[in-house]
Amino acid sequence: MKTQVAIVGAGPAGLLLGHLLRAEGIDCVIVERASADYVLGRIRAGVLEQITVQLMERIGLDARMKAEGLPHDGFNLADGDRLIRIDIHALTGKRVMVYGQTELTRDLMAACEERGLQVVYDASDVTLHDVDSDSPSITYAKDGASHRIDARFICGCDGFHGPSRKAVPAAVGSAFELVYPFGWLGILADVPPCNHELIYANHERGFALASMRSETRSRYYVDVPVTEKVEDWPDERIWDELATRLGPEAAAHMTRGPSIEKSIAPLRSFVFEPMRHGSLFLAGDSAHIVPPTGAKGLNLAASDVHYLSSALIGYFKAADHDGIAGYSSRALARVWKSERFSWSLTKLMHRFPSDGAFERRMQLAELDYIAQSETARRAIAENYVGLPL
């Protein structure tokens, strides 16, 4: 098979990129190692920046998001006793949209056949070849047969553990990583949220987050040591811990119910440079990971897709090589700023094992400063809604 662009990974980044290219008449094929059901079963982010919303609008797949998503004008930081509201709309003129990544992926998947976007699921042994040439290819196995895709470019949207980043020679790439000593224990339940906006809480017992997927489905998190096991956290224990960490105001409005999903997600900050090698481009989690504290993971992938789709469209439709050449530096400039924000908010809201009384006092002083300073709140709001492209 021959195509102009081969995309590895059918998560939201790969699907969004595929739809943007197909809308401009560019041939592309997506190869995904997992099944469609597995891709849809991943419980991930739920806060969308305007760039993500605008890209869905651009390809005309925003109807359900606009009907079912929840526009938010702000969010809250909690220090154990009070809620510090960050009024992002008043401070920046922008909003975020609460709409689950699963639902966004479902919208993208549902439109593939109608729009001629070919996706190969259950592709095993995906391997990239000759990425430093002008004629790269992908091989994979499916249904007992071997297959090959020849392309002009390959776009790796296959996540942290995918094969794309591994195709970049060690002498070419550099990885920067910070692994955190805790993970997020998440619980999903069909109960109304305790607050109409998100609450990020810093309590002496640790971090907690009150979030939602809809007006009737809530997503909560507490941080736990990386050695913890989900089986040691029955629902009632999680609810009790949430009530303590979120503070009395949130606890008074919290509705308890049986979990429909529980899991522990490790936290890391990770960046790989460069995001282009020859005819291979990296986008999304294949190139960078952020702790979920700043709600940047999916949105950073969307900004990568914005830069990458523009570069590829310019190349194929106008013989413009500048976008291709500048993709990595443009994307990384935004990546590192988002990494900084996610790292700083994680440091502010979590208790690290090495922290003592001094570090705790610094966190409380910072939160008190944020509560009293509009300038501090504006800086947080500008980063939370997404820095300019």
Cα 12 from Cα 298, distance rounded (Å): 8
Q: Is 121 labeled as catalytic in the residue annotation? A: no
Judge whether residue 46 has pLDDT over 90: no
Cα 78 from Cα 96, distance rounded (Å): 20
Q: What pLDDT sits at residue 11? A: 95
Q: Is 384 labeled as catalytic in the residue annotation? A: yes
Catalytic residue among 291, 292, 306, 350: 292
Q: Which domains does the chain have, with CATH numbers?
A: 5-70+98-176+268-345 (3.50.50.60), 180-267+352-385 (3.30.9.10)
Asked if 384 and 338 touch (Cβ cutoff 8 Å), the reply is no
Q: Is 296 labeled as catalytic in the residue annotation? A: yes
Burial of 217 (0-12, 13-18, 19+ CB in 10 A): middle
Whole-number average pLDDT of the chain: 96
Judge whether residue 192 has pLDDT over 80: yes
Q: What pLDDT sits at residue 149? A: 98
Q: Is 94 labeled as catalytic in the residue annotation? A: no
56-73: average pLDDT? 96
pTM of the model: 0.94
Catalytic residue among 288, 296, 306, 350: 296
Look at residues 333, 334, 311 and name the one whose alpha carbon lies nearest to residue 153. Answer: 311
Look at residues 227, 186, 202, 225 and name the one whose alpha carbon lies nearest to residue 347. Answer: 202
138-157: average pLDDT? 97
Judge whether residue 44 has pLDDT over 90: no
84-88: average pLDDT? 97
Asked if 277 and 172 touch (Cβ cutoff 8 Å), the reply is yes
Determine what percent of the chain is predicted with pLDDT higher than 70: 100
Catalytic residue among 99, 140, 180, 200: 200
List the structure tokens of 279. 């005819």
Q: Is 200 labeled as catalytic in the residue annotation? A: yes
Q: What pLDDT sits at residue 139? A: 98
β-sheet with 153-156: strand ranges across = 118-120, 28-31, 5-8, 153-156, 280-282, 276-277
Catalytic residue among 140, 221, 307, 384: 384
C-alpha Rg value of the chain to the nearest Å: 21
Asked if 288 and 156 touch (Cβ cutoff 8 Å), the reply is no
Strand pairing of 28-31 and 276-277? unpaired
Half-sphere exposure of 272 (CA within 13 A, CB side): 26
Catalytic residue among 72, 288, 306, 350: 72
**131-166 CB burial, b ≥16 within 10 A, e <16:** beeeebbbebebeeeeeebebbbbbbbbbeebbbbe
